[in-house]
Amino acid sequence: MLAIAPPIQAGQPLVIYNGEANEMPRQPQACVTAAGITHLTFGLDNRVLYCNNDGEEFNLPRVAFQVPDLSLGMRRGPRITETGRSIVITAIGGRDGKGKDGDVLAFHSDDKEATWNRPVRVNDVESSAREGLHAMTATQNGVLWCVWLDMLTTNPLGQVSTVWRRGGTIYSTDQRRDTESVLGNGEQPWIASNSQGTTIVWTTARQGDLLLARLDSREPEMIAVDARDPVLVAGESSNPVQYVFWEQFHNNQAAIMGLSIR
């Protein structure tokens, strides 16, 4: 049976934040709550900024906290999730930086982001997260999960992949298919899913066209040019929404861009 994917309905890209030199925003990450609120974080030098769209539009990003020698760039940067009563942001940093040290630090706010509590170190062995790569999420009952590349781990077991890059080509697979499928040439893939369907984004180069495709249609749509490091989030609510965020130069300044997809 031929599956016909619904057409992609996207609004106009919006500039979340832009700046130059030490004010260049980098590495956006986001989560969507059950109420349909999107929480967004990104890095700015050693500062971690936060904003949300608790309303019709995103509010002005503001500094949540600072992390010494914040790991930022090439998929390194803060991560964000929501537990039902708290907003949690994790980031990796250390006193020396430059790969010499680094810990996964978890910050949380219980008062609608008015204040952020002192961080908790997630990794048991100090400085073992110095590679700077990590991810974080929360379950519906408020349990936090965090994974990171630990320099003490030399023989990881197992691998789960749904969308990936190999040799300049983007592939995907799922439990309904026995073989991988080619989506197109590119890099930096990201995937998210809700009742609207499963959506994938990727770029044609390190900084290139930003493509978006539904998993069932596999016909990509270009939604931006000169983009890099895209992320995609999806949430379930009375009005399910998916958002894509990415880095892009806008009016000669580095910017965090966002786009809603319905």
pLDDT of residue 51: 97
Look up the domain containing 215 and give its range.
161-247+255-262
Domain boundary among 152, 179, 202: 152
Asked if 166 and 236 sit in the same domain, the reply is yes
State yes or no: pLDDT of 186 exceeds 80: yes
pLDDT digits (tens, 9 = 90+) for 108-126: 999 989 999 999 999 888 9
For 17-35, write each residue's pLDDT tens digit. Answer: 999 888 999 999 999 998 8
* pLDDT bracket for residue 9 (50, 70, 90): low
- Residues of the chain above pLDDT 70, percent: 85
Domain boundary among the residues 127, 152, 177 is at 152
Please say which residue of 152, 170, 190 terminates a domain.
152
Task: Render pLDDT for 60-118 as a digit per residue (tens, 0 to 9).
Answer: 999 999 999 999 999 999 999 999 889 999 999 998 877 778 999 999 999 989 999 99
Residue 13 lies inside a defined structural domain of this protein: no
What pLDDT score does 191 carry? 86
Same domain, 167 and 102: no
Q: Which pLDDT score, from 0 to 100, does residue 8 have?
A: 57
Position 164 confidence tier, pLDDT thresholds 50, 70, 90 = low
* 242 within domain boundaries: yes
What pLDDT score was predicted for residue 103?
94
Residue 202 and residue 128 share a domain: no
Do 130 and 110 share a structural domain? yes
Residue 133 falls inside a structural domain: yes
Instruction: Note whether residue 176 is domain-resident.
Output: yes
Asked, for residue 2, whether it belongs to a domain, the answer is no
Instruction: Reply yes or no on whether the pLDDT at 47 is more than 60.
Output: yes
Q: Do 29 and 148 sit in the same domain of this protein?
A: yes
Do 112 and 168 reside in the same domain of the chain?
A: no
My answer on whether 50 and 136 are in the same domain is yes
pLDDT at 150: 81
List CB contacts of 30: < 8 A, sequence separation 6 or more: 38, 39, 40, 41, 80, 231, 233, 243, 245
pLDDT attached to residue 194: 84
47-51, 149-153, 219-223: least confident range: 149-153
Percent above pLDDT 90 for the chain: 49
pTM of the model: 0.82
Residue 12 lies in a domain: no
Residues in Cβ contact with 160 at an 8 Å cutoff, skipping those fewer than 6 apart: none
Of 50-59, 97-106, 226-235, the range with the highest mean pLDDT is 226-235
Inside any domain, residue 63: yes
User: Quick one: tokens of 165?
Assistant: 């890059």
Structure tokens at 52: 């949300």
pLDDT range class, residue 159, cuts 50, 70, 90: very low
Residues 169 and 147 in one domain: no
- Does one domain contain both 235 and 180? yes
Residues 33 and 148 both lie in one domain: yes
- Judged against a pLDDT cut of 70, whether residue 196 lies above it is answered with yes
Q: Answer whether residue 10 is part of any domain.
A: no
Indicate whether 67 and 50 sit together in one domain.
yes
Q: Are residues 48 and 121 in the same domain?
A: yes
Structural domains in the chain (count): 2
